[in-house]
Amino acid sequence: MTNYIIETKQLTKLFGNQKAVNNVNLHVKKGRIYGLLGRNGAGKTTIMKMILGLTSITSGEVDVFGKNIKGREKQVYPRIGAIIETPGFYPNLTGTENLEIFAKLRGTPAPNAVKNALEVVGLPYKDKKLFSEYSLGMKQRLGIANAILHDPELLILDEPTNGLDPIGIAEVRDFIKNLSVERGKTVLISSHILSEISLLADDIGIIDHGVLLEESSMEELRRKNGNYILLHVSDVSKATLILERQFGLKDYSVHDDHMLRIYDTSLDMASVNKALMLDEVSVISSQLCNDTLEDYFRKITGGDGIA
């Protein structure tokens, strides 16, 4: 039994001969917010659609709640709430009326479901305004209310803040966070905006041209891209041995035969240099670096960044 709520294995989607999604292995953990970050056309929506069975899988597998989704769709989908593209709301009905219809279609959940869902997203219950008179932000909120109507354990939200103003974005972020922190929901959310994902997600997957380039916790990513000492030495393995033995250093990463990163920036570099020299390791350079997350994304996506 795995502890993943969603796990994809070598998930691949071909459109003609274009690989829109290429051998993607996602790992979404219980109770966490997983941010799928990628530019336009990276493959985010296609991945979500394959997880939800809205488009066929070319090859690979999707496990949801610990088991392969194949043949279990009927049991599994009621436990998921999703927004992928705007749901088909009726323009000439109010928000409340629209949700009541969706609630009925889904087999009428709890009696207060519509009222509660509207409350979570900050829309009025039994308001007279028709859907056609809603602003874009209100439409987006109604979409999210519809996704949480049946109190699902897992939410899959494809760019839910698209088109919202900054205050709207912050509000949506707050209630998604609440759903995770206070109600223990698991959330898979996509965005092409780095700052949005970095403020919201616990874990992050970076996708580019259909390939998952990196998957890690936000904490780990921040740590690795905060301050560090970049040490250029003649012999990395000898250097790490000395650093570990004499300085008790554990928090470092090795880049190649000559470069390592030390994340403990309080290390006394004068003593380190001396100890390395004594053991015949030459220090070619040591430099305090401070990369931003933007620098990092720019580097790994090989272009002008995401946000």
Ligand X SMILES: Nc1ncnc2c1ncn2[C@@H]1O[C@H](COP(=O)(O)OP(=O)(O)OP(=O)(O)O)[C@@H](O)[C@H]1O
Binding site for ligand X (CB under 6 A): 15, 20, 38, 40-46, 192
The answer to whether 146 touches 86, Cβ cutoff 8 Å, is no
The answer to whether 124 touches 156, Cβ cutoff 8 Å, is no
Return the residue of 8, 45, 98, 191 that touches Mg ion, per CB under 5 A.
45
Q: Quote the strand ranges of 86-180, DSSP E.
A: 154-158
46 binds, among Mg ion, ligand X, none (CB under 5 to 8 A by kind): ligand X
Measured from the CB atom, the residue of 37 and 149 that comes closer to ligand X is 37
Six-digit token pair at 143?
Answer: 């979409």
Q: What is the C-alpha to C-alpha distance for residues 185 and 79, in angstroms, rounded to an integer? A: 11
Least Å from the CB of residue 172 to ligand X: 17
Measured from the CB atom, the residue of 169 and 272 that comes closer to Mg ion is 169
Measured from the CB atom, the residue of 46 and 96 that comes closer to ligand X is 46
Stretch 66-95 residues interacting with Mg ion (CB under 5 A): none
Q: Where are the alpha helices (DSSP H) in 204-268?
A: 218-224, 236-247
Q: What is the pattern of x (binds Mg ion, CB under 5 A) and - over residues 128-167?
A: ----------------------------------------
In angstroms, the Cα distances linking 137 to 36, 41, 130, 158 are 22, 23, 14, 15
| 88 backbone dihedrals φ, ψ, rounded to 5° | -80, 80
Measured from the CB atom, the residue of 44 and 185 that comes closer to Mg ion is 44
Least Å from the CB of residue 104 to ligand X: 31
Measured from the CB atom, the residue of 139 and 258 that comes closer to ligand X is 139
Q: What is the C-alpha to C-alpha distance for residues 78 and 134, in angstroms, rounded to an integer? A: 28
Q: Which residues are at the interface with Mg ion (CB under 5 A)?
A: 44-45
